[in-house]
Structure 1
Amino acid sequence: MTPLRPSPLAEQAATRIEEQIRAGQWPVGGKLPGEVALAKELGVGRSTVREALRTLAAAGMVQSRQGSGVFVTADRPTEDWPARLRRAELAHVYEVRTMVEVQAARLAATRRTEADLATLDATLAARHAAGGADDAAFVEADIALHTAVVAAAHNPVLDDLFAQFAPVLREQLVTLVGLFDLRAGDPNQGYDAHAALVRAVHDGDQEAAGRVLAAELEATRSRLLAD
């Protein structure tokens, strides 16, 4: 390997090591040369090599084993979940979203507290009020209501899953609303369905809560597939 040029040296070092791993110089399961050898090959200091290896470890490509050295664990960086969601087709995101949220709605109908119901009422009212706002504010209000439904299920794993979906939904739904002009005839598009969902949770009717939300999400997914 030729010496590296100035700039973020640790970043360059990580890129160069990654290239060599991809090229098969150090196969998965194999051991990387020691810090001294890598530093000499790259023309950098050992501290730069250590930082580069930490970057590659965070990407899931290498792993340090106490007393044994650094080993290659993958020939490609591991893509994190938020990045994977952003790259996915929105129709596919909606399929998984349905699996998560419909069950959450069913659980919410049986586990909701008085505080949860008050939050649901407030977020439903805020969504209605956002009918007079721009698309970004409307989408934000819509997601806040869905977040409140998930929170009412009182399952921290569901909370975490939906928290991963929310930023992607926020970005893509603003585009979707504008692209399909969904609010042209009704600034409060989907309000009746959301009101029915909140009512079902209030009533403790888990079947109705799941059915209403499934229908609403499926309508959007079908539109995505048709266009």
Structure 2
Amino acid sequence: MAAPLTEAAIEKVRDLIRSGDLGPGQRLPAEAALSAQLGVSRSSLREAVRALATAGVLDVRRGDGTFVTALRPEQLFTGIGEAVDLMRDESLLELMECRRVVEPQVTALAATRCEDEDLAEIHRHLELMEAASDEQDLIAHDADFHAAIAAASGNAALAAILRGISGVTLRARVWRALTEADSSRHTIDEHRAIYDAVRDGDAPRAEAAALLHVANVETWMRRTLAPQHPRNP
């Protein structure tokens, strides 16, 4: 957690953005002027800028200044994926519950909004998954397959959240175990069912296929991880 003076500086910069005094793409005033305007020290402002840059709110361009980003969901939700990468095994089941809530709905939206080019991109990654000769390729194309479906949903916020909670690090853990258990072929078949439903524009079937896929992975994780990390009574 940031120090109180830095937290105050962060909140004051956020207030400028919320009020519209600083808009997307706009350059921040020089450090000395902005610190005087906000009534904070330059060191606190500097720390606030670093924190807001990490959060995707500001873009620090060396030699050019600091700018407000476009404030798009994919920028503002980057912290979700970074947090997921640090989660320990005992937190993964809760993360899978999040996926079970979000991913079927996103997939259903994709089935109703998917354009031809979106479908071609989804299918391309499915074929690359099926042809993958090693685990790393399988993981990468699995992530790209689901990212393409999320993009096809037309909801950038939901797509960014889903990318955050189902990133490459999590997929690597899951696929490594599925490969060892010789379950990868079955899991790829589940991806094929998701693609077929999206291709057909069948939202209920797409939702059901995505739910089955996530639920199967969650069931495996519960069977594998729960004995290692039992809940406290």
What displacement does 1:150 show?
A: 0.9
Name which one, 1 or 2, has greater alpha-carbon Rg: 1
Is there any run of 5+ residues in structure 2 with no aligned partner, and where? Answer: 9-40, 53-78, 225-233
Task: Tell me, in whole angstroms, the C-alpha distance in 2 between the residues paired with 1:124 and 1:218.
Answer: 20
Pair 1:110-2:112 in alignment: yes
- Cα pair 1:140 1:170 within 8 Å, conserved: yes
Task: Tell me, in whole angstroms, the C-alpha distance in 1 between the residues paired with 2:80 and 2:124.
Answer: 31
Pair 1:218-2:215 in alignment: yes
Pair 1:128-2:136 in alignment: no
**2:83 partner letter:** R
C-alpha RMSD of matched pairs (Å): 2.8
Which residue in the other structure is 2:43 paired with? 51
Task: Tell me, in whole angstroms, the C-alpha distance in 1 between the residues paired with 2:213 and 2:183.
Answer: 16
Q: Decide whether aligned partners of structure 1 residues 186 and 225 sit closer, same or farther in structure 2, where only a CA change above 3 A counts.
A: closer
What displacement does 1:183 show?
A: 4.8
Q: Decide whether aligned partners of structure 1 residues 181 and 205 sit closer, same or farther in structure 2, where only a CA change above 3 A counts.
A: closer
Task: Tell me, in whole angstroms, the C-alpha distance in 1 between the residues paired with 2:164 and 2:48.
Answer: 23
Pair 1:149-2:149 in alignment: yes
- Cα pair 1:109 1:201 within 8 Å, conserved: yes
What displacement does 1:185 show?
A: 2.8
Cα deviations across residues 131-182 of structure 1 (Å, max 9, x unaligned)? x21x22211111111111111111111222123235xx3113223333x353
**2:197 partner letter:** A
Runs of at least 4 residues off by over 6 Å: none
Which residue in the other structure is 2:32 paired with? none
Task: Map 1:20-59 onto structure 2 (within 5 A).
Answer: 50-55=42-47, 59=51
> Normalising to structure 2: TM-score of the pair?
0.60
Task: Tell me, in whole angstroms, the C-alpha distance in 2 between the residues paired with 1:159 and 1:111.
Answer: 13
- Cα pair 1:182 1:189 within 8 Å, conserved: no
**1:81 partner letter:** I
Q: Decide whether aligned partners of structure 1 residues 202 and 98 sit closer, same or farther in structure 2, where only a CA change above 3 A counts.
A: same
Tell me, what secondary structure is at the counterpart of 1:188? Answer: helix
What displacement does 1:91 show?
A: 1.4
- Cα pair 2:98 2:165 within 8 Å, conserved: no
Tell me, what secondary structure is at the counterpart of 1:108? Answer: helix
Is there any run of 5+ residues in structure 1 with no aligned partner, and where? Answer: 1-13, 30-48, 61-79
- Cα pair 2:143 2:171 within 8 Å, conserved: no
Identity percentage of aligned residues: 23
**2:47 partner letter:** T
Task: Tell me, in whole angstroms, the C-alpha distance in 1 between the residues paired with 2:178 and 2:161.
Answer: 29
Which residue in the other structure is 1:69 paired with? none
- Cα pair 2:111 2:197 within 8 Å, conserved: yes
- Cα pair 1:123 1:141 within 8 Å, conserved: yes
Tell me, what secondary structure is at the counterpart of 1:185? Answer: coil
What displacement does 1:107 show?
A: 0.7
- Which deviates further from its counterpart, 85-94 or 208-217? 85-94
User: Matched residue pairs, number?
Assistant: 162
**2:189 partner letter:** D
Pair 1:172-2:195 in alignment: no
Task: Tell me, in whole angstroms, the C-alpha distance in 1 between the residues paired with 2:178 and 2:212.
Answer: 20
What displacement does 1:93 show?
A: 1.3
Q: Decide whether aligned partners of structure 1 residues 156 and 56 sit closer, same or farther in structure 2, where only a CA change above 3 A counts.
A: closer
What displacement does 1:99 show?
A: 1.9
Task: Tell me, in whole angstroms, the C-alpha distance in 1 between the residues paired with 2:184 and 2:211.
Answer: 22
